[in-house]
Structure 1
Amino acid sequence: MTTSTTRTSRTARTLATTAAVAALVLAACSTPDDGGAPAVADDAPSGPALELTDAWVKSADEGMTAAFGTLANTGGADVTVVAVTSPAATAMELHETVEKDGVMVMQEVESFDVPAGGSVELEPGGNHLMFMGLTAPIAPGDEIELVLELTDGSTVELLAPAKDFAGANESYEGGTDMDHGDMGDMDHGDMDHGDTGADH
């Protein structure tokens, strides 16, 4: 009886040990699948962390208007904005305002470069996002959709509230003072950006 009992006990211990080893092997095999996803996610490059803070659009009934705010890059890589679109306008352009022959000139630029951890101000009298050919009146309180296109082809979708603003008056070289909200009588296609002065 003693010998038989001893053999049975040894067999039970052997089976238990084998089961434990098998369980460890299975657990080890499953570890890469369970822990692999977070590692890949951690190593995967993140998208551009570009925001338009303090964003706003000047309300207007028709014609042209502009969007302002601060383009803030919270990421670790430089970002270049090369285009902007909005369902609120038939066309949009990136603009800067510079002094030319004593007159503030509004002209189109190819891009806005936003350094890593830096920002670019969009403000009256400076850089701005220009709406041309409004598809509908923009009233105070409206939320205007904007889509920024970056140099790598990616896009950033934004929302900017509209508000009344008495400034952003424009002085063109032709001698006509204009307000962005009162540009409905002028076809923007008849203006040469390089020869039109603007003081936003």
Structure 2
Amino acid sequence: MTMTALTTRSLLAPTALSAALLLGACASPAPTEEEAAVQEGSALQAESVSITDPWIKAASADDGMTAAFGVLINEGEEDAVIVAATAEEISDMVELHEVVDGDDGNTLMREKDGGFSVAAGSEHELSPGADHIMIMGLTRDLEPGAEVAVTLEFEDGSTQEFTAPVKDFEGANENYDGDHEGHGDSDEDHGGH
């Protein structure tokens, strides 16, 4: 072996070792418990939000639709946003709705852009004539006293299921803004949810 080859080999060995150590030092530290939970799809936003006094308006399958109500409470330190909901046992079409004043002075229901935001340490009410979970395309009658499972989906991908009793209710006869976000061709009565 020549002196040049020996010198080159001697110089390369520490350089390779230094590069390996440097790469090891740059590697990400082990994720925190919270980061690991996010990576595993844990229900972080869902864990901070609960719903009190949930209920669903009684309706027949012929009515075609109903709505779910209650009070969303965020006991966490971060805002939570509900972006979708499902009620698979009774419908395959559920939307988050708001009630707004229409151009003609009547109130209209439409899908709420961005979902329901529940600020940290606060609550967000879902009630007739205001924000609510609209359940459309009912597949069966909902009689008073029955119970229905509803699943909320949060913007972080977490989900939470709650069970709501079915109750009789009359009132809040808004119209549906069928042109909002491409839903239908015209306004239609929502059946007094």
Which TM bucket (shorter chain)? Answer: 0.5 to 0.7
Change over 3 Å in CA distance of 1:84–1:191 after alignment to 2 = farther
Write the mapping of 1:129-144 to structure 2, written as runs, cut at 5 A. 129-144=133-148
Contact 1:105/1:196, CA 8 A, preserved across alignment: no
Contact 2:50/2:74, CA 8 A, preserved across alignment: yes
Looking at structure 2, the residues matched to 89 and 191 of structure 1 have their Cα atoms a distance apart, in angstroms, of 21
The yes-or-no answer on 1:160 pairing with 2:164 is yes
Corresponding residue for 1:66?
67
Change over 3 Å in CA distance of 1:172–1:134 after alignment to 2 = closer
Contact 1:51/1:73, CA 8 A, preserved across alignment: yes
Count of equivalent residues:
145
Q: Which has the higher helix share?
A: 1
Provide Cα deviations, 1:104-149, integer angstroms capped at 9, x if missing partner.
Answer: 0111013110001111111111000000011211111111101000
Unaligned runs of 5+ in 2: 1-31, 38-42, 178-182
2:154 corresponds to which letter in structure 1? Answer: L
Q: Considering only aligned residues, what root-mean-square deviation do their CA atoms show, in Å?
A: 2.8
Larger Rg, first or second structure (1 or 2): 1
Contact 1:55/1:68, CA 8 A, preserved across alignment: yes
Write the mapping of 1:56-135 to structure 2, written as runs, cut at 5 A. 56-62=55-61, 63-87=64-88, 88-101=90-103, 102-110=105-113, 111-135=115-139
Looking at structure 2, the residues matched to 142 and 52 of structure 1 have their Cα atoms a distance apart, in angstroms, of 18
Looking at structure 1, the residues matched to 35 and 84 of structure 2 have their Cα atoms a distance apart, in angstroms, of 29
Change over 3 Å in CA distance of 1:41–1:70 after alignment to 2 = same
* Identity %, equivalent residues: 45
Corresponding residue for 1:52?
51
Name the SS for the 2:137 alignment partner. strand
The yes-or-no answer on 1:150 pairing with 2:149 is no
Contact 1:57/1:160, CA 8 A, preserved across alignment: yes
2:55 corresponds to which letter in structure 1? Answer: W
Unaligned runs of 5+ in 1: 1-39, 174-188
Shift of 1:50: 1.0
